[in-house]
Amino acid sequence: MLKRFWSWFWFIVGATYFLVPLYATFDFSLRARRGELSFAAYANVLNDIKFVESFWFSFQTALATIVISALVIVPTAYWVQLRLPRLRPVIEFFTLLPFVVPAVVLVFSLARTYSRTPLTDSREGLWVLLVGSYVILSFPYMYRAVDTGLRAINIHDLTEAAQSLGAGWFTILAQVIFPNVYTALLSGAFITFAIVMGEFTIAALLAQPAFGPYMNRLASSRVYEPSALAIISFALTWAAIAAIQRIGQGAQARVAGPR
């Protein structure tokens, strides 16, 4: 009985911590018109073409980041576990660098390194730099997720089984490894998605029309709209994650179950 009470108690404390600010933001966002509750602020946000553009821009950027990150991380984590297990701590350390190196430093070193190349003198080039930076930011989450996913399956025997059946490395990666770390990959992808959608520093420094800088600009020029935007982006991000999950569900169901 008492145990039950305490679990509920902590659940409610946690939920309050999470929901009260959200509710306060929501409540505030409804007070754009004096003396009444209205969705005027929402209408203002949604009618702003910049909102749609920047959200769509960041959405695409996030997807590109996830795809590239997965293509880099999965083969790397796989190969390290299969053939270079002693390098695992080293690789893990490298993937954690984004926690150590501030985003400002990262973006300036990138800009310096690639200055006077096509990467820095065009909008598309800068976008490539942006995605590149985000891929690096995603490493800690993606690598850990994939590494754990790989540990849950016997990659040694699966690899050798596939090899003895005639499979080459590409086939093994595409048909055996990727499908089996798909679920793990998704969890890394969600975090990456959320980070990219809200990222400000790098996008601003590279002068990209991303959602983060847009939110920031709005916050400094308006009163009620930023709150409405926060609620909208919160809902949209969750919706996007739900959509990604739905797409991945088929594969997920197949790999699930005891092993």
The DSSP symbol for 168 reads -
- Based on CB atoms, which residue is closest to other proteins, 236 or 251? 251
**Token output for 222:** 């308006």
Cβ atoms of 41 and 32 within 8 Å: the answer is yes
CB of 77 to other proteins, least distance (A): 17
CB of 62 to other proteins, least distance (A): 26
CB of 85 to other proteins, least distance (A): 15
- Based on CB atoms, which residue is closest to other proteins, 176 or 202? 176
CB of 75 to other proteins, least distance (A): 17
Cβ atoms of 109 and 103 within 8 Å: the answer is no
Of the candidates 169, 120, 140, the one whose C-alpha atom is nearest the C-alpha of residue 69 is 140
CB of 178 to other proteins, least distance (A): 9
Task: List all residues 6 or more positions away from 169 whose beta carbon is below 8 Å from its beta carbon.
Answer: none
- Based on CB atoms, which residue is closest to other proteins, 152 or 235? 152
- Based on CB atoms, which residue is closest to other proteins, 25 or 171? 171
Helix (H) or strand (E) holding 183: helix 178-198
CB of 146 to other proteins, least distance (A): 15
Contacts with other proteins by CB under 8 A lie at 153-154, 157-158, 160-168, 171, 175-176, 179-180, 182, 251, 254-255, 257-259
- Based on CB atoms, which residue is closest to other proteins, 122 or 154? 154
Task: List all residues 6 or more positions away from 228 whose beta carbon is below 8 Å from its beta carbon.
Answer: 29, 32, 39, 41, 42, 44, 45
- Based on CB atoms, which residue is closest to other proteins, 173 or 206? 173
Cβ atoms of 182 and 109 within 8 Å: the answer is no
CB of 251 to other proteins, least distance (A): 7
CA dist., res. 43 & res. 36, Å (int): 15
210: exposed, middle or buried (Cβ count in 10 Å: 0-12, 13-18, 19+):
buried
**Token output for 30:** 């409804």
- Based on CB atoms, which residue is closest to other proteins, 49 or 256? 256
